[in-house]
Structure 1
Amino acid sequence: MAAGLKLVCALMLCMLVAAAPMANALTCGQVSIAMKPCMGYLMSGGDRPPTPCCNGVKSLVSQARTTTDRQQACECLKSAAGAMHNLKRDVAAGLPDKCGVNIPYKISSSTNCKSVK
C-alpha cells in the first residue's frame, strides 16, 4: 500500500504548490478522498471498479461544477498519476467510462489541464 501513501503525499503536495483556490473551490484533498477507494483497482485493474470507487468518481464529477474546479481536479489527478509508478495507465484513463460518467479530460500524467473547460 506504499503506492497509496505516495498518491496521498502527491495530492497533498499538489495542494501546497497549487495556486490559491477561490473560496469553496475544489481541493486536492477532496480529490484524494474521492479517489481513495479506487487505489487497488488503478494498480491491479479488473473487469469493473468497485462500487465505492465509482461513487467517489461520481462525487468528484458532481463537485467539479466550474471550469476552475475541473482544472483543479485535473491537475490533482495528473500529479497523482505521475507519482504512481505502478499505476495501470490504461485503467486510469478508462475509469470514468467504467463508472458511467463523463469527464472532459483523460486521467493521465500528460493531460493538458489548462485546456479543460
Structure 2
Amino acid sequence: MLVVEPMGTAALSCGDVASQTAACIGYLQSRGGNRPPSGCCNGVRNLNRLARTARDRQTVCRCLQTAAKAFSAINYRLVESLPARCGVRIPFKINPSTDCNRVT
C-alpha cells in the first residue's frame, strides 16, 4: 500500500521557520524588556498554525536550535518566553537542551 500526502500539506522546512522568525532576531539578541515586534509575533503565530503534526513541530524545534547557534548573543530567557509573549502555547520549551525527538 502506498500512502501519499495530499498536495499542500508538505512538511515544514528550516527555510519556512527562518522566514517566519526572521523579525525576532534583533529582539532575541537584546536584553528584552520591551514587547517583541509585531512582525515577530505574527511569524510566531503563523509558524504555530503551520506546525500541525508532531513531525512539523520536531522540525521547528531542530531548526530553531540550529538557528540559535548561528547567531551571537541570543538571550535564551527571551527565546523561551517568546511564544507566551506572542500569545501562543507550544508543547515544548525552545531551549538548546530540548530533545526535539520527544516533541509531540
Distance in 1 of aligned mates of 2:65 and 2:98: 7
- 1:90 partnered with 2:77: yes
Q: Which structure has the larger Rg?
A: 2
Aligned letter for 2:103? V
State, as a whole percentage, how many aligned pairs show the same letter. Answer: 48
Secondary structure of the corresponding residue to residue 77 of structure 1: helix
Under a length normalisation based on structure 1, what TM-score does the superposition of the two structures give?
0.77
Higher helix share: 1
Give the gaps of 5 or more residues in structure 1: 1-21
Distance apart, 1:83 and its partner CA: 2.9
Q: Deviations over 1:38-91 (max 9, x none)?
A: 011000123210100000000100000011000000110111223333000100
RMSD between aligned residues: 1.4
Under a length normalisation based on structure 2, what TM-score does the superposition of the two structures give?
0.86
Runs of 4+ in 1 over 3 A off after TM superposition: none
User: Which among 32, 49, 53 is matched to residue 18 of structure 2?
Assistant: 32
Distance apart, 1:99 and its partner CA: 0.2
The answer as to whether partners of 2:29 and 2:72 remain within 8 angstroms in 1 is: no
Distance in 2 of aligned mates of 1:83 and 1:40: 13
Give the gaps of 5 or more residues in structure 2: none
Number of equivalenced pairs = 96
